[in-house]
Amino acid sequence: MSAVIALFQMLIFPGFLFLVLLGLTGQFVDRKLYARLQNRVGPPWYQPTADFFKLLGKESVIPEEADRRMFTLAPVFALASVIASSFYIPLWSTKPLFAFEGDLIVVLYLLLIPTLTFFLGGWYSRSVFSTLGAVRSITQLFAYEIPLLIAVLSPALLANTWSISGMTEYYASHPGRWLFNLIGFAVAMVTLLGKLEKVPFDIPEAETEIVAGSFTEYSGRFLAFFRLAIDTEAIVSASLLAAVFLPFGLALAPWLAFIVFLAKIFAILAVLALLRTVFARLRLDQMINFCWRIVAPVAFFQVLLDLVVKELLLP
């Protein structure tokens, strides 16, 4: 019986199906908000779902030059790793589906895999634009991943645990202490734009330069799964940030906590949509400079702040 429940939890709620629905809703919120901020009407609520099913029905072209296996497996790996990482993130309570000491590192590792699949998928497409996009993806990864890692680890330092559920429990029992981590939250938001490849860090898929980067050769269901992976990655990353940086409202009644959780992730998505509205795309060298010269030192400052707070203020 417990196996059936576990399977239900993984596949339907709060696992795969729930995340997919949330991912498509998240894409709608992002597109609609982006459109309204640009004085456009924007898509109707069912547009992301319609796009997904339309792509599933389209012909999937695999270039002759491409490595067939890598080309077709990349989207599946991207989606699978995102879904797997969600099992370790507590959504609206302090308890995730699975938890162990150190799952924070595992989640960050699993969330890195989509970017690697973008690289592999693009690299093995063997077209010029895909290769350029792939190389840009991986170059950009080195710029944002380390500040993101540092930013997410600093609340863990304060909570003295490497487990996400441990962190949420710590912050739930010490209300108000999450406020020390706001700088890290800002850093994580900026680097999340890089991770999700959104303006101003949409360099790997810059349309006017390299068509669609890694995804240039992708079509049909492979493209559909890549896009679904990106949508769910946005939700899972937002849930991670919500769990780590905004750990409040977890002790409420389950339905109320669920609403608070939705409010948190959609607020994060709204801020991301706002940020991509107001900026132009940076050049790769400018992006790397920005991440290493400004974002990384700020992230280190957050670590320092947490150490000082932990040692001096909260003995």
Partner 1 sequence: MSDHEKIMQVPVGPQHPALKEPESFMVDLRGEKIDAVRMRFGYNHRGIEKGCEQRSFTQDLYLVERICGICSYAHSTAFVQAVEEIAGLEIPRRALYIRTIVAELERIHSHLLWLGVAGHEIGFDTLLMYTWRDREQVMILLAQLTGNRVNYGLNTIGGVRRDITAEQIPSILKVVDLLEERTKYYIELAQTEETLRQRLANVGVLTREDALSLGAVGPTARASGVDRDTRRDDPYGAYGEVSFKVVTAQSCDVFGRTVVRLGELLEAYAIIRQLVKNIPDGPVLVKAPRRIPAGEAVSRYEAPRGEDVHYVRGNGTEKPERVKVRAPTLANSQAVAKMLEDGYLADLPIVIAAIDPCFSCTDRMIAVKGNGESRAMTWDEVSRYGVQFYKARGIDFSRVRLREGPAA
Q: Is 275 in the site for partner 1 (CB under 8 A)?
A: no
Q: What's the closest the beta carbon of residue 135 comes to partner 1, in angstroms?
A: 6
CA–CA distances in Å: residue 170 to residues 159, 161, 162, 166, 243: 6, 9, 12, 6, 12
Which residues within the stretch 82-101 sit at the binding site for partner 1 (CB under 8 A)? none
d(C-alpha 235, C-alpha 238), whole Å:
5
Q: Where are the alpha helices (DSSP H) in the chain?
A: 2-11, 16-37, 47-57, 68-86, 103-123, 128-159, 164-173, 182-195, 207-210, 220-245, 254-278, 284-290, 296-308
Of 162, 186, 209, 271, the one binding partner 1 (CB under 8 A) is 209
Give the nearer residue to partner 1 in terms of CB position, either 35 or 112: 35
Q: What's the closest the beta carbon of residue 241 comes to partner 1, in angstroms?
A: 23
Q: What's the closest the beta carbon of residue 40 comes to partner 1, in angstroms?
A: 6
Give the nearer residue to partner 1 in terms of CB position, either 202 or 233: 202
d(C-alpha 256, C-alpha 133), whole Å:
43
Handedness of CA 139, 142, 143, 145 (dihedral sign): positive
Amino acid identity of residue 139, one-letter, is T
Q: What's the closest the beta carbon of residue 238 comes to partner 1, in angstroms?
A: 22
Contact 85, 111 (CB under 8 A): yes
Q: Is 39 in the site for partner 1 (CB under 8 A)?
A: yes
Binding mask 242-261 vs partner 1 (x if CB under 8 A, - otherwise)?
--------------------
Q: How many residues bind partner 1 (CB under 8 A)?
A: 29
Contact 48, 28 (CB under 8 A): yes
Q: How many CB atoms lie within 10 A of CB 173?
A: 10
Q: Is 67 in the site for partner 1 (CB under 8 A)?
A: no
Give the residue among 261, 217, 222 at the shortest CA–CA distance from 242. 261
Of 103, 169, 202, 233, the one binding partner 1 (CB under 8 A) is 202
Give the nearer residue to partner 1 in terms of CB position, either 152 or 193: 193
Where does this chain touch partner 1 (CB under 8 A) — which range of 6-14, 23-31, 38-46, 231-239?
38-46
Amino acid identity of residue 46, one-letter, is Y
Q: Is 20 in the site for partner 1 (CB under 8 A)?
A: no
Phi, psi dihedrals of residue 25, rounded to the nearest 5°: -65, -40
Q: Is 41 in the site for partner 1 (CB under 8 A)?
A: no
Q: Is 108 in the site for partner 1 (CB under 8 A)?
A: no
Q: Is 122 in the site for partner 1 (CB under 8 A)?
A: no
Q: What's the closest the beta carbon of residue 75 comes to partner 1, in angstroms?
A: 22
Give the binding site for partner 1 (CB under 8 A). Answer: 37-40, 128-129, 131-132, 135, 199-200, 202-203, 206-211, 277-286
